[in-house]
Amino acid sequence: MKDANNVVARQYWGMVKDALVRVDDDHSLDHLVAEQTPGGLNEQALRNLDLVGVLDQYERTMEAVLSRIRGESDGSLK
């Protein structure tokens, strides 16, 4: 379990670091996704997350949080 935690933590840390470098670019996350090494571990992980619907649910969750920040809702998923 410790090894899995380490891999996941480092994967997220790497993504955050890359995203922060391009924070002023409106499409920085799209560019990061497009830069995945074909056949690499990150591409596989992203494909698997998409396959099981995690990315759609993550987007839905972040939209709800943004709605709360804007004072438009309580941020709950409906």
- Looking at the fold, whether 10 and 42 belong to one and the same domain comes out as no
Which amino acid would we find at residue 14?
A: G
Looking at the structure, tell me whether residues 43 and 77 fall in a common domain.
yes
* Structural domain harbouring 65: 38-78
User: Do residue 28 and residue 53 come from a single domain?
Assistant: no
- How many domains is the chain partitioned into structurally? 2
Calculate the average pLDDT of the chain. 86
The answer to whether residues 25 and 49 belong to one domain is no
Query: 54 and 20 in one domain?
Result: no
pLDDT in tens, 47-74: 999 999 998 999 999 999 999 999 999 9
Q: Are residues 1 and 16 in the same domain?
A: yes
pTM above 0.85, yes or no: no
